[in-house]
Amino acid sequence: MAQNQHNISDLRISYTKAKLNIEGTDPCPIKQFEKWLNEAIETKTAEATAMSLATVNEQGQPSVRTVLLKDFDSEGFVFYTNYESRKASEIDFNPSVGICFLWKELERQVTITGAASKISKDESKKYFKSRPIGHQISAWASTQSSKVPNREWMLARKKELGTKFSDGIVPYPEFWGGFQISPTEIEFWQGRENRFHDRIVYRLEKANWSRSRLSP
Ligand SMILES: Cc1cc2nc3c(=O)[nH]c(=O)nc-3n(C[C@H](O)[C@H](O)[C@H](O)COP(=O)(O)O)c2cc1C
């Protein structure tokens, strides 16, 4: 293998900031998630709500991309996207998804496995209306995941839609909305010294959450 100019095989940082044990976690994984997310936001972790979302296509090929968490509760974790995008068609085919939050500044990761489903149109509409107008117009202008000729073409399309909605009222686009991921497994990972990390996993078993420690 070619040698990278930064010698990446020698890049290492030591994780020493915190520990995690079962007694120190909340019996409810959603409450535990809320605690860690709050700590990530309060410690100014960059893009604390950004999560990697993995989906699988008809050929069994996984794909992954970043989306932003916009809401969560005991029912699940919500993000918004174009319903005609690659991720949305993969979810239509197979609702099983994985998400991963990496909070580097806290040496923490949370991974979640579950099933995605569309949220109600009313909820999507409500969130759409709360977005800045520029974001609303971009949602209309984006044919997310499809090939386009060039950036000029995209800008011309956006300008046209900006003119169309110049009265400042942007209707809700039916092809855009939220997905909620109902979790069946949630794992909390805390980096520890010498790669001997702490992992606590919650699994949904007969409507109750179990908690176990996993080997690093
Ligand atoms: C920090 C960050 C946040 C993003 N948030 C979203 C989001 O909330 N929704 C979304 O559809 N795409 C978001 N994107 C873009 C996606 O990563 C992706 O490029 C896009 O959704 C198309 O994915 P797809 O072709 O696999 O469907 C974000 C990208 C980054 C880097």
CATH number at 108 reads 2.30.110.10
What local confidence, expressed as pLDDT, does residue 68 receive? 98
Q: Which domain holds residue 46?
A: 13-119+179-214
Residues β-bridged to residue 51 = 67
From residue 167, give the alpha-carbon distance in Å to each of 127, 133, 162: 20, 11, 9
Q: What is the pTM of this model?
A: 0.97
What pLDDT shows up at residue 86? 98
56 falls within a domain: yes
pLDDT at 135: 97
From the CB of 32, is ligand 1 less than 6 Å away? no
Q: Considering the domain boundaries, does residue 185 fall inside one?
A: yes
Q: Measured in angstroms, how far is the CA atom of residue 207 from the centroid of ligand 1? A: 32
Q: From the first residue on, what is the mean pLDDT of each consecutive set of 10 residues in the chain (216 residues)?
A: 84 96 97 98 96 98 98 98 98 98 97 98 98 97 97 97 95 98 98 97 96 98
95-133 as b/e: b if 16+ CB within 10 A: bebbbbbbbeebbbbbbbbbbbebbeeebbbebbeeeee
Query: CA–CA separation, 177 vs 125, rounded Å?
Result: 8
Contact call for residues 84 and 173 (beta carbons, < 8 A): no
Q: Is 143 within a domain? A: no
Query: Dihedral angle at the C-alpha atoms of 41, 45, 46, 48, nearest 10 degrees?
Result: -50
Residue nearest atom 4 of ligand 1, based on CA coordinates: 67
Q: CA 91 to CA 215: how far, in whole Å?
A: 31
At 40, is the secondary structure helix, strand, or coil? Answer: helix
Domain assignment present for 17: yes
Task: Decide: 53 and 99 in contact? Cβ < 8 Å.
Answer: yes
Q: Is residue 139 part of a domain?
A: no
CB 50 within 8 Å of CB 101: yes
Q: What is the total count of domains within the chain?
A: 1
Q: Is the CB of 65 under 6 A from ligand 1?
A: yes
Ligand 1 touching residue 130 (CB < 6 A): no
Ligand 1 test: best mutation among 56, 81, 128, most atoms within 8 Å of CB? 81
Shortest-distance atom of ligand 1 to CA 87: 27
Q: State residue 159's pLDDT score.
A: 96
Verify whether residue 151 is a known catalytic residue.
no
Query: If you measure from the C-alpha of residue 70 to the centroid of ligand 1, how many angstroms do you get, rounded to a whole number?
Result: 13
pLDDT number for residue 4:
81
